[in-house]
Amino acid sequence: MANLIPVTDPADERISAFRDIRERDVVGRQNRFVIEGKVVLRVAVTQSRYALDSLLILENKRAGMSELLERVPNEVPIYTASSVVFDAIAGFHVHRGIMCLCKKQAPETAEDILGRLPRTAVVLVLSGISNHDNMGGIFRNAAAFEAGAILLDRQCCDPLYRKAIRVSVGAALTVPFARIDAPLAAVRQLTALGFEAFAMTPNGEETIETASLLPRTAFIFGSEGDGLSGEVLEKSRTLRIAMSKQFDSLNVAATSAIALHRYWSAFGGS
């Protein structure tokens, strides 16, 4: 690992993009984003759609990560630091002791992604999902059940935000996604490509357990507060999840898991 570079000064300009992580989460890093932890780094090294830019790891983590670090391209610098220096760089205590900068790529369009999907595919459409835990959970579920793509409207939070990636266990680095202007336009686009659109809502006319899904299926999810617009519900088949009458809904990430598992059971799983 000739690319190992010790860092002893938190002010070292070579690691400036890692400095004050939380503040830079807001102001940005010139088309780069941060991932954390060994599990997510393994995804970044072996499966990610995004190129590595640089790594920062604790000195005492290096020995236990030698096999993984050997897979990092030689041109990618791996900075090592003591816990004192590491925390001073980050601006808080990072107990995982592993951070990596990745390079964003030119965003794909919905047309790009949908155009290369096979005849049997499931797509998620998200509207107003602003919570990073929910976003990360949805991406994790999408990877687990091999969703072909996720389409996000402009009100959705960034799947490449540090916490969303962490909650997704790296799935945000592997599942294709694209921004859309509005869910209704996405429904029309998907319908034209042979997808059946199913809007998930507590007041759905059918239950997910009994609905007849098609090989090309799109599930649409709204925010837990406002839900989906009347226009989207009108243009879609509406589905609900049967549950206790004492409670009316589930967390949106949990809902996505149930819907995806239902599709997986019909067309993907064994």
Q: Distance between CA 246 and CA 17 in Å, rounded? A: 49
Last residue of a domain, one of 64, 83, 103: 103
Q: The domain spanning residue 51 has which CATH number?
A: 3.30.1330.30
Residue 117's pLDDT is what? 97
Residue 88's pLDDT is what? 93
- Of 212, 206, 142, 151, nearest to 178 by C-alpha is 151
Residue 29's pLDDT is what? 61
Q: Which residues pair with 153 in a beta bridge?
A: 180
Under 8 Å between Cβ of 203 and 243: no
What's the average pLDDT block by block, 10 residues per block, for the chain (270 residues)?
A: 86 89 61 90 92 94 89 93 93 85 91 96 97 97 97 95 94 97 94 96 93 96 85 94 87 96 86
- Of 144, 64, 130, nearest to 97 by C-alpha is 64
Residue 49 and residue 134 share a domain: no
Residue 241 and residue 128 share a domain: yes
- Of 56, 66, 63, 67, nearest to 19 by C-alpha is 56
Residue 93 and residue 8 share a domain: yes
Residue 87 and residue 115 share a domain: no
Residue 27's pLDDT is what? 44
Residue 143 and residue 42 share a domain: no
Residue 260's pLDDT is what? 97
Residue 194's pLDDT is what? 96
Residue 81 and residue 19 share a domain: yes
Last residue of a domain, one of 103, 123, 143: 103
Q: Distance between CA 191 and CA 235 in Å, rounded? A: 10
Query: What total number of domains does the chain contain?
Result: 2
Residue 238 and residue 117 share a domain: yes
Q: The domain spanning residue 134 has which CATH number?
A: 3.40.1280.10
Residue 14 and residue 72 share a domain: yes
Residue 262 and residue 155 share a domain: yes
Range of the domain at 84: 4-103
Residue 124 and residue 87 share a domain: no
Residue 24's pLDDT is what? 56
Q: What is the 3-state secondary structure (H, E, C) of the chain?
A: CCCEEECCCCCCHHHHHHCCHHHHHHHCCCCEEEEECHHHHHHHHHCCCCCEEEEEEEHHHCHHHHHHHCCCCCCCCEEEECHHHHHHHHCCCCCCCEEEEEECCCCCCHHHHHHCCCCCEEEEEEECCCCHHHHHHHHHHHHHCCCCEEEEECCCCCCCCHHHHHHCCCHHHCCCEEEECCHHHHHHHHHHCCCEEEEECCCCCEECCCCCCCCEEEEEEEECCCECCHHHHHCCEEEECCCCCCCCCCCHHHHHHHHHHHHHHHHHCC
Residue 203 and residue 162 share a domain: yes
Residue 248's pLDDT is what? 78
Last residue of a domain, one of 78, 103, 128: 103
Residue 206 and residue 91 share a domain: no
